[in-house]
Structure 1
Amino acid sequence: MTDLTNPGPALAGPPIPGPDAALFLDMDGTLLEIAPRPDAVVVPKELPELLTRLQTALGGAVAVVTGRGLAVARGFTGVPSLPIGAEHGAVLDPALPGAPPLPVPPPEWRRMADEFAAARPGTLAEHKTHGIVLHFRQRPEAEAEAMALLHRLVRNDPRGFHVVPSHAAADLRPVGADKGGAVHRLMTISPFRGRRPIFIGDDITDEDGMAACAEYGGYGLRVPDDFAGRPALVRAWLSRLAASLTAGARPD
């Protein structure tokens, strides 16, 4: 078995950044392995301790930015003090002043999504405060129908919502709610302000966060390209980052 805490050159990952970094971390497919269903994900027992070590090493400049709902993301991380941009940045905790109000899907849309999933075993309708996700990982042939349904719904409110494809899912969410927005808002406050941001993600929805980091002189790391598509390698790299920064802070 490969030792991920002491990998060979092929698995070492990108260069370790310096103490001026700020980390923005996707969850599913980045910190956590993808599961057949979103409610079947397994959270590594060491994740809360890893995130706490990173916070300490980077002076608190670590955030999770995920498509998950806030309560689920908070439960997965297990770190009450960790900033979270949930629902692709639509919900930010701790909340910052000046956030524009966002629409919520009407009950009729939620009912139609539930009926869609009930009629197609293997699909799942996931309801969030500001959005709806239709999952079809276990029934990939339902992709076209899922996308078509959500596109029909947003035609009723094209200024308020749009549909974004994701990993084996169709995501209906408010216009203007993306991971880049969460990065921009957090980069205006301490301890993120003035640091070099790094966004780590695996999906098309993470590209907005990576683009926002580039505006502050930072960059993005893509799990398929930089970590061989393996969240375990992401976690191992983050552990080495925390160890490196902690060692560098010790007096001689």
Structure 2
Amino acid sequence: MDIAADAVSLFLDLDGTLIDIAPRPDAVLVPDELHGLLRQLHRRLGGAVAVVSGRPLADLDRFLPRCPVPLVAEHGAVFKLPAGYHFRLAARYAVPPAMAAFVREALAGLDGVILEEKQSCLTVHFRLAPEHQPAVRAVLERALDRWPAYRISEAKMALELRPRGLDKGTAVRRLMRYPPFRGRRPVFIGDDATDEDGIRACILLGGQGLRVPQDFGGGPEAVRRWLWSLASQGAAQPAQYPP
């Protein structure tokens, strides 16, 4: 299957798609080539590229400084638009302080479990202690009894409390209302369960979704190689999917 750069809007997950997943969220390594790749994609696709991540904006700013494309943080709760994007997007979500305190206290005795507190959601990582997954889920389910406006979302070796209605599909649909995204065929590339909402949104909008394990096999390095081919293609020359 082919993709022509002139015809698509591209939505890219970060962890597990553009960069390799690390044992801790703060231990990832960002390839030196990534900034240049995003800049080249921005030029070739006329700006119709966005990074859509579950991470907080502070992480995205740190990993992708001076990023030329929109950064969508916390599954669509926060948007950062560089110069040249002439529209405004604002979404207001805030984790109730009492909910954060409840989860923080309930997880305190679970060694190796990392609580990542974000503006809109709480993400609990158990990659370093997978045996604690049942206990983590039990804590989050107890939290839902008190804060039913949230739901539990699954990710790789993590569980997240997130507001109902907040997901990457919503972020895709919002961006697709505006140029340079509007009028193009949306394509989402992701690797995790949290990316499925973005993939479904793209399919419903007449586009498609690419899953890193099935469509790229080798992981983020293979994704980056394919994106370079897309960014470097000539006019009307489709990029071939990797074998």
Tell me if TM exceeds 0.5.
Answer: yes
User: Of 37, 59, 65, which aligns to 1:50?
Assistant: 37
Q: Distance in 2 between matches of 1:97 and 1:51?
A: 21
Aligned counterpart, 1:20: 7
TM-score calculated relative to the size of structure 2: 0.89
CA RMSD of aligned residues (A): 2.0
| Residue of structure 2 aligned with 1:136, choices 111, 121, 126 | 126
Q: Deviation of residue 56 (structure 1)?
A: 0.3
Is 1:178 aligned to residue 158 of structure 2?
A: no
Q: Secondary structure at the match of 1:19?
A: helix
Q: Which ranges in structure 1 are unaligned for 5 or more consecutive residues?
A: 1-13
Is the Cα contact below 8 Å between 2:11 and 2:52 reproduced in 1?
yes
Hey, what's the Cα distance between the residues in 2 that align with 1:139 and 1:190?
Answer: 44
Per the alignment, do residues 245 and 154 of structure 1 end up closer, same or farther by CA in structure 2, a change over 3 Å counting?
farther
For the pair 1:148 / 2:138, whether they are aligned, the reply is: yes
| Inter-CA distance 232–141: structure 2 relative to 1 (3 Å threshold) | same
Matching of residues 7-156 of structure 1 within 5 Å: 15-94=2-81, 99=90, 101-102=92-93, 104-156=94-146
Off by >6 Å, runs of 4+ in structure 1: none
Q: 1:109 is paired with a residue of what secondary structure?
A: helix
Q: Contact 1:51–1:79 at 8 Å: present in 2 too? A: no
Cα distance in 1 between the residues matched to 2:215 and 2:23 = 23
2: CA distance between counterparts of 1:108 and 1:209? 30
Taking a change above 3 Å as real, the CA distance of residues 194 and 29 of structure 1, as seen in their structure-2 partners, is same
Q: How far apart, CA to CA, are the structure 1 residues paired with 2:108 and 2:30?
A: 27
Cα deviations across residues 4-23 of structure 1 (Å, max 9, x unaligned)?
xxxxxxxxxx6343411110
TM-score, structure 1 as length reference: 0.86
Aligned-pair CA distance for 1:154: 1.8
| Letter in structure 2 aligned against 1:58 | L
SS in 1 for 2:36: helix
Give the fraction of aligned pairs with identical amino acids, expressed as a percent: 48
Residues 117/156 of structure 1: CA separation in 2 closer, same or farther (3 Å cut)? closer
Q: Which runs of 5+ in 2 are unaligned?
A: 238-243
* Equivalent residues, number: 233
Task: Render the CA deviation track for 1:210-251: whole Å, top value 9, x for unaligned.
Answer: 111112211000001011151000011101111114796xxx
Amino acid at match of 1:148: A
Q: Decide whether the 8 Å contact of 1:202 with 1:222 is kept in 2.
A: yes
Distance 1:28 1:181 in 2: 19
